[in-house]
Amino acid sequence: MFKTFDDNMKREQFLSEIIESVLFPYEASEVFEEEIVGEFENEVEREFFSEFLKELQEKSLVLDLACGDGRHTLQLSKNVNNTVALDFSSNNLRMAKKKCEKAGNIGFVQGSMFDLPFRENVFDGVWFSQAFEYVPPDKRESVLSSVKRVLKFKGVVYMSVETWMYPSVWVSFKELLGDFKLYFYWKFVKRKPLFGENFCITFQ
């Protein structure tokens, strides 16, 4: 069955609303994520971070894709020659710059993972932690293709998604309820639309 023009318009509106809803808490946050979950979400993430670095050369250029407030950006910059941190949220980038202000080998880009503003085959590694869950199913293939496009031949990618599933059903249920409460708070109480379409790059 072919999609009608109205179906496509509704889909685009739906995706736009998702992006705005996702941005709300990030634009308002003043607390670094390490203060909430620590530098690493869990031991698996910590282990793969070490393995990721082992696969890279010291002179590597690495993309911290959807870097957030720089939770991993600074550590990446200490182990490779140059790091580029990209995020859609201007507030996240502001916090990341503050966290990384003493590092001189980090570039900051405000932009979207759906339209990576980089040339082909430029990065030796891409660190993509806990952000792929924001990609709608029909956009996943194009996002992964974009990551592949900017990655060098034999480059290294780490990708993970956040989950609320835990061995304990009760803990999982509480986590899910917390996510719903957060969504409804920003969607129906705050009602503050935020937009960001352009990107810019700055180097310290």
Looking at residue 189, what is its pLDDT? 67
- Return the number of other C-beta atoms located less than 10 Å from residue 20's C-beta: 17
Distance CA 87, CA 96 (A): 10
Cβ–Cβ under 8 Å, residues 86 and 146? no
Q: How many residues does the chain have?
A: 204
What the chain holds in terms of domains, given with CATH numbers, is 5-163+193-203 (3.40.50.150)
For the chain, where are the E strands, in sequence order? 61-65, 82-87, 106-110, 123-128, 151-159, 201-203
pLDDT at 197: 34
Residue ranges of the chain with per-residue pLDDT less than 70: 1-8, 10-38, 41, 162-176, 178-204
Q: What angle, rounded to 10 degrees, do the helices at 5-28 and 90-99 form?
A: 30
Tokens standing for residue 31: 């607390």
Tokens of residue 27, six digits = 């634009």
Taking the C-alpha atoms of residue 4 and residue 47, their distance in angstroms, rounded to an integer, is 47
Q: Which of 175, 148, 151 is nearest to 163 (CA)?
A: 175
DSSP assignment of 101-127 equals: TT-SSEEEEE--TTS--S-TT-EEEEE
Residue with tokens 């020659």: 81
Residue type for 67, please? C
Instruction: Identify any residues that bridge with 83 across adjacent strands, giving them in sequence order.
Output: 62, 106
Q: Which of 60, 63, 77, 55 lies closest to 149, judged by CA? A: 63
- Does the model's pTM come out above 0.85? no
Q: Any idea which residue has 């082992």 for tokens?
A: 54
Q: At which residue do the structure tokens 């010291």 appear? A: 58
What pLDDT digit, counting tens, does each position of 126-160 carry?
999 878 877 877 788 999 999 999 999 989 999 88
> CA-to-CA distance for 138 and 174, rounded, in angstroms?
29
Task: Give Cα separations from 175 to 45, 153, 169 (angstroms).
Answer: 19, 39, 10
Integer Cα distance of 125 and 151 in angstroms? 7
Return the pLDDT at 129: 87
